[in-house]
Amino acid sequence: MPRHLPAESESRVMKNLLRILAVIGAFIALGAIPTTANAACTPASLYATGPSLVNVDPTAANGTVLWTGAVNVGASTSDCIGGSYTITYAGVGVRESTYNTYPTGISGIGVRIRFYNWTCANGTANTTNWFPVYCTANWSPSTVSAFALTVEFVKTGPVTAGGTVTGLFSQWTTNAANALWANTYWSNTITFNVAVPTCTVTTPNISVPMGSVPANSFASVGSVSDSQPFNISLNCAGGVGSSYTNVYTTLTDVTDPSNLTNTLTLNASSTARGLGIQVLNGTTPINFGPDSSVAGNPSQWFVGSMQNGSHNIPLSARYIRTGTVTPGTANGSATFTMSYQ
């Protein structure tokens, strides 16, 4: 059975400094199916080389062919008892009838197979039907000549992770006690890459000039200054088709990393008192959280689903009165940690 090693989901992290500066004021397959099901048959071992890499657009419709091609299968010897019987040529596992596919071990991706250039021993050619196909003829111990298969990998359902496929992918059985006539294996490892964009921050260091704000403009605790806009800019590339990556971010207070409120602490070098800084997404102040890209990190917020291209995350910053205001410099620093999920 083709084996699949799930690709681990990774959070790709970019830590960036935001400066706000201002003055204020079970078994393997061969063990599960005995290779000597009948003492009268020693199956051939056949090998084919598939593609090394298949890129998968996770947004593609079910039934989309992800890869198609003819693969050559080398010759081998099958030593089975002679006689008239039927050979069934099939994939491995339970066939999915909608797309005529067999499982690959990767959820949402199936494989279908048919002969590319082959004629049954009784003289009947069959290069149009997907496996399983059948051939009834008089058989004798013989060399299995080299031939070719048409192989297609098909999207059969949601694909949430890539992986690899290798090993057994097709078997030929006879109706003589279900004896194996041949096993067909991939001779290489086929990697399936779920191609979603990878994003890079193009503004890793941002300074937000807040201007000079009169101390007496903060009438009471909770009063705020005008907001000053800025952008976190990203460039996303490497996706296939209309695929996207979900972008999240967390702001962390550099002065007080344990801060989970929506007010950034002023730097120790600031001389102003009674003020904090808020960063807004639209009109909503953003809470600060731990410096981590882990999904579900406290105060992590969803930025959006981003396809290939350049993107801006529009934000703004403002002062907020937290106590008795003393004029002076009021600077704050935060990091922003991106998480791509």
Instruction: Quick: pLDDT tens for 172-211.
Output: 998 876 688 899 999 999 999 988 888 999 999 999 999 9
Q: What pLDDT score was predicted for residue 178?
A: 64
Top pLDDT among 174 and 166 is at 166
- Residue 7 above 50 pLDDT? no
- Residue 298 above 90 pLDDT? yes
Q: What pLDDT score was predicted for residue 40?
A: 59
Q: What pLDDT score was predicted for residue 33?
A: 34
* Residue 170 CA: distances (Å) to CA of 2, 256, 294: 9, 60, 41
pLDDT (tens digit per residue) in 14-60: 445 445 444 333 322 333 333 333 335 788 999 999 999 999 988 88
Lowest mean pLDDT among 98-112, 131-145, 162-176, 232-246: 131-145
Most confident range (mean pLDDT) of 12-16, 157-161, 321-325 is 321-325
Beta partners for 133? 89
* Domains within the chain, CATH numbers bracketed: 14-25+197-340 (2.60.40.1090), 33-194 (2.60.40.3310)
Q: Give the pair of three-digit tokens for residue 46.
A: 């056949």
Give the C-alpha separation, 165 to 50, whole Å.
10
Q: What pLDDT score was predicted for residue 307?
A: 92
- Residue 264 above 80 pLDDT? yes
Q: What pLDDT score was predicted for residue 84?
A: 83
Residue whose structure tokens are 């006539």: 181
Q: What pLDDT score was predicted for residue 239?
A: 84
Nearest to 157 by CA among 96, 212, 69: 96
**Average of pLDDT values for 88-97?**
97
DSSP string, 260-294: -SSSBPPPTT---EEEEEEEEETTEEPPB--S--S
pLDDT (tens digit per residue) in 18-27: 454 443 333 2
Instruction: Provide the mean pLDDT of the chain.
Output: 87
Beta partners for 324? none
**Average of pLDDT values for 301-317?**
96
